Each structure stands twice: as structure tokens, then as C-alpha cells.
Amino acid sequence: MNMERKFPSTRLRRLRTSKKLIDLVSENTITSNDLIQPLFIKENLSGTESIKSMPDILRYGKDEVNKEIKNIINCGINTIALFPIIKPELKNSSGSEAINKDNFICSMIKQIKDEYPEIIIIADVALDPYTDHGHDGVLNQDYVDNDATVNILVEQSLLLAASGADIIAPSDMMDGRIAKIRQSLESEGFINTILLSYAAKFNSHFYGPFREAIGSSSKLQGSSKSSYQMNTANYNEAYNEVALDINEGADIVMVKPALAYLDVINMIKKEFKVPTFAYQVSGEYSMIQNAIKEGWLDKNVMLESLLSIKRAGADAILSYAAKDISLEIKNL
């Protein structure tokens, strides 16, 4: 680079004299193709229900889900991530409802695919919606048992794939689960089922509103996920997690949360050059959305935040604001 170029031969403001010029030299953009809408669906609910800690986000009952999918498609979004809330009496210590082939999530995937076969469905793989202790796996004393959990996650993944999920997303952080799930998918003939690994998932306090939304926080009773989710202080460890998951057969890797981990997103994309997603999690969403609703921040902060995640290197972003932002950018 020629550092001799000085004012006035260089006036960086020349390219900022109009919105059209600014857009012309813009380095990053967000389109609805980059956005994924997470959706809370609740068994035995008729209609919808609001979530106290997540402004404008609802839980949808079986009868309302397809209507909402239609809204999402109309906003230009092609991909959804489903999170079930099951009947409390179905939760137990082994999360056995996760591997009941007629469970709520499997029936909802079928219901959605029947009407909207073109929508891309991401189904989460973890036991926290199903366990009575709120952990992502089964316990041996107080410790989440890695290998026993992986065996269950394999079964859960096969059921989700058989129900029609396009993308299986293990969010549990057990070691070795990608390899086992990939092997089983291959041997059962699900050769095109995509594995999106929550590879670098931090033990973050930004998940609070999500845990309220799916009802796992009261179950956890203050117990932490620190024996499986990553230490929030770590960076190199994210490299190791991602390297392992790619070797084990992940098609896409994810960093989660997003805004507090932009350095990690950037490093992963640069180092591995594989499809890399980021999750703007519930706490990030609620913080921003609440400030917008209170009038403390301009509504453009949501787009600014998503753009920063894109700029860091994310190819796509899971965001509770996906639908609204997608509409907004369409109308810009």
C-alpha cells in the first residue's frame, strides 16, 4: 500500500457524499438469504403466548405455526430453526421423549413440510427441552455423561432427519457427537442431511431469555453448563472445537453467542474457510429490542449489530429479529 498518498489527493470523504455512492462502495450487506428465523413451538398450546423476557417474540401452538411460517416466507426468509416446548409431564431424567418417534417436534416438522416443502428446517439436537434437570445430556451423579448422551443424540438426530429436517444442529457440546451422528446418518441413507454443528458454543449468560422461553431455567435451578460449554475467556479452544467438528463431518460450523464473540467468528472464517454461522442469541436480541422499544436506542441498532456479525465473517445469522429486519431491508 502506498502510504505517500496524502490529503488532498486522498479525501476519504469523496466516497461518502451521497447514499448511492456509499452503497456503491459498501463492503458488506445483509439480505434475507443471510437470515434464519428461530421459532418457539409449544405442545398443547392453542394460539400464541408471549415470552416475558423476549419483546415481540411468541410461542406458537400447533394450529398457529403454519400461519407464522407463511409470514416468514412472505418476508423473504427461507430457513427456520425450531425449538420445542413439550408438556412438562413428559420431561424426565433421561429426556426419553426426545427419542419418541411420534413426539411433538417430529410431528411439527412433518406438518410444516407437508404445507411448505421448500422451507429449510433446522432442528436442534440436545436434550434440554426434554430433561427434568434442564441439562443438554443425561447425568451420572451431577456430571453430564458424554458417551451415554451421544448415544441418545444419535437416535434423536435420526428421528429428526426421518421426519424431514434438512439440517440437524447439535447444540449440546458433547465430545465426538458429530462423528457418531454423521456415521449413523450415512448408514441409514440420510446422505444429504446437513450437519450444522454448534461448534464453538460458549457458557454464556446471554442465553437467559431462551431458557425462560423453553422452560429449562427453572429446571436448571442455578446449575451451570460449564462442564460442556466453552469457557467465555477462551479463543484457541474455539479453533480446536471447530477443527474437530469439521474432521468429524460437520458441513457448517456455528459460533454462539455472536456479538460478544466477533473475534472468534472472524478467526474461524479466516482459518477454516467453511460455511460459518453465528447465533445472535436471546439475550443479545432482548437487550437491543428492549432498548429500541423504550426509545433509548434508534431501531437501526439491530441492523447495525447484524451487519457487524456479517462483517466479522458469518455467512448466515440466526436472529429473533430475522423477520422484521428482512422486511426492513426489502423496503429500504
Residues that bind ligand PBG (CB under 6 A): 124, 126, 128, 136, 171, 207, 210-211, 225, 281-282
Which CB sits closer to ligand PBG, 23 or 200? Answer: 200
Which CB sits closer to ligand PBG, 12 or 319? Answer: 319
CB of 36 to ligand PBG, least distance (A): 12
CB of 175 to ligand PBG, least distance (A): 16
Strands 139-140 and 143-144: antiparallel
CB of 217 to ligand PBG, least distance (A): 8
Contact 254, 276 (CB under 8 A): yes
Which CB sits closer to ligand PBG, 3 or 233? Answer: 233
State yes or no: is 201 an active-site residue: yes
CB of 26 to ligand PBG, least distance (A): 29
Per-residue three-class SS string for the chain: CCCCCCCCCCCHHHHHCCHHHHHHCCCCCCCHHHEEEEEEEECCCCCEEECCCCCCCEEEEHHHHHHHHHHHHHCCCCEEEEEEECCHHHCECCCHHHHCCCCHHHHHHHHHHHHCCCCEEEEEECCCCCECCCCCCCEECCEECHHHHHHHHHHHHHHHHHHCCCEEEECCCCCCHHHHHHHHHHHCCCCCCEEEEEEEEECCHHHHHHHHHHCCHHHHCCCCCCCCCECCCCCHHHHHHHHHHHHHCCCEEEEECCHHHHHHHHHHHHHHCCCEEEEECHHHHHHHHHHHHHCCCCCHHHHHHHHHHHHHCCCEEEECCHHHHHHHHHCC
Annotated catalytic residue, options 42, 91, 180, 256: 256
Which CB sits closer to ligand PBG, 211 or 269? Answer: 211
Annotated catalytic residue, options 42, 91, 180, 201: 201
CB of 84 to ligand PBG, least distance (A): 11
**CA–CA separation, 258 vs 157, rounded Å?**
25
**Which residue is nearest to ligand PBG, using beta carbons?**
210
CB of 171 to ligand PBG, least distance (A): 4
Contact 178, 234 (CB under 8 A): no
State yes or no: is 101 an active-site residue: no
Cβ atoms < 10 Å from Cβ of 62: 16
Q: Which three cell numbers stand for residue 54?
A: 423476549
Which CB sits closer to ligand PBG, 2 or 53? Answer: 53
Which CB sits closer to ligand PBG, 179 or 220? Answer: 220
Considering only CA atoms, give the Rg of the chain.
21
CB of 77 to ligand PBG, least distance (A): 17
Which CB sits closer to ligand PBG, 30 or 169? Answer: 169
Angle between helices 300-312 and 282-294 (to 10 degrees): 150
Q: Kindly list the catalytic residues.
A: 201, 256
